[in-house]
Amino acid sequence: MIALPAELPFIRISQENLALCEPAWLQQTLKNAANAAEVPEWLAEDVSKGVECYLKNHYPGTVIEVGDLFDRIRSTLHNLGLNDLADHLDDCPPPIRISLTELARKAGPGFELGFFQLLQRQFHAAADGGARQLVCYGLRTCVKRLATAEKWSPRCRKLEAEIRDFLQQQHRTLCDDIPDLRLAIN
């Protein structure tokens, strides 16, 4: 049996990207819609708790398509007579977390070119799926794996700078199409 790290299903953003359905993200998304619709925020909080309850206790799968999630929320809001709230709901998916360490593992030790290709594909798949926030994590471990180094070295520092530069360049490229795309590197 496979145990999920969270009670809520994952959200499929694209063929290659899954995101955690985090209660804080869901609540903020609904609060933003409530503010835009000029309805009380407490209503958004109640709706958020209802969506969480449904996903935890009644949704049959472990992954839900981002579009399906928002369609279900909108349909429920319309059925409750909350049309303004439904109409102001933004289909922005949760932050996409990209494990640099996992990409380095897939590429293989010392195979930097493969790593950069995988990273570029992840970036573009996330952007194509509508992501507006990318969180790349595990940079230090990734660098040590790619550099096949046990201790931090000048080669590691250079590779870390190259990866950061590449991430920033990919971010700038994607910002041409998605101006509000945010990037965090940990």
What one-character DSSP code corresponds to residue 109? T
42 pLDDT above the threshold of 50: yes
Give domain status of residue 5, yes or no: no
On whether the pTM is more than 0.85, the answer is: no
- Between CA 83 and CA 37 the distance in angstroms is 9
pLDDT in tens, 50-106: 999 999 999 998 999 999 999 999 999 999 999 999 999 998 889 888 999 999 999
Q: 117 and 51 in one domain? A: no
Give the structural domain span for 144: 96-185
- Between CA 132 and CA 139 the distance in angstroms is 21
Q: 100 and 81 in one domain? A: no
Q: 178 and 104 in one domain? A: yes
Q: Are 74 and 68 in contact (CB under 8 A)?
A: no
